Amino acid sequence: MIIAIDGPAASGKGTLAKRLADHLGFACLDTGLLYRAVARDVAARGFRLEDTWAAVATARGLDPLELEDPDLRGTAAGDAASIVARIPEVRAALLAYQRDFARRPPGAVLDGRDIGTVVCPDADVKIFVTATAEIRAKRRHCEFEARGAGVAYETVLTDIIARDTRDAGRPNAPMAVAADAMLLDTSNLSIEAAFDAAVGLITRKTGH
Ligand code: DC
């Protein structure tokens, strides 16, 4: 069974995907980490993120098993990922790995921007996780405060809006709600409540 979870930056889709995978006993792939790792490696080799040749070569040589780097989780890595993710050949180079992963028995949960539309258009369940930009920024800002990082709320909000715009506006595999996706708006939901709601959607769709 394939479960596709898409949604914008800081929507909580990663946390939700992991919890669903644990609950179902499925494998889980955070596809954003692939783009984050490509961006990290392009920069580490001294190339600009917009350098198509360098980004494509890096994506083709990426070892998807090396995604444990904690630096990949930061905001800068997310912004950089969104830049290399615009390059169609980078996306193409990462496609086979994602599709193979999705076929792992007994099932897999993949989260990203184009899972339900491009990577796994035949997924058994598609959930598009949303929340207002203000609420996503507020949650992210709270995480920063908890870690003692002095980032202003306005900066976080501006960054989230810029990333949404870039991810939804690119011509190739933009962030989009698949026609057969179910919307899960977590604006007024706790993590627990969002998880319960997602389990309800999966049960309704598959009977599991
Ligand atoms: O989900 P994330 O924030 O880790 O993703 C980082 C960036 O990677 C995101 O802004 C756009 C890109 N991305 C993508 O284009 N397609 C995906 N399936 C996942 C991420």
Would you kindly state where each structural domain of the chain is located, as residue ranges? 2-195
Q: What is the dihedral of CA 7, 191, 73, 128, to 10 degrees?
A: -10
Q: Which residues lie with the beta carbon below 6 Å from any ligand 1 atom?
A: 9, 31-32, 35-36, 78, 81-82, 85, 112-115, 163, 167
Q: Distance of CA 22 to CAs 15, 19, 110, 166, 206, Å? A: 11, 5, 13, 31, 17
Question: Which pLDDT belongs to residue 144?
Answer: 86
Domain 2-195 of CATH type 3.40.50.300: yes
Pocket test for ligand 1, best of 30, 35, 161 (most atoms within 8 A of CB): 35
Question: Which pLDDT belongs to residue 108?
Answer: 98
Residues of the chain predicted below pLDDT 50: none
Q: Please state the atom number of ligand 1 nearest to the C-alpha of residue 111.
A: 18
Please give the DSSP secondary-structure letter assigned to residue 157. Answer: H
Task: Output the residue whose Cα is nearest ligand 1's atom 13.
Answer: 32
pLDDT tens-digit series, residues 10-57: 999 999 999 999 999 999 999 999 999 999 999 999 999 999 999 999
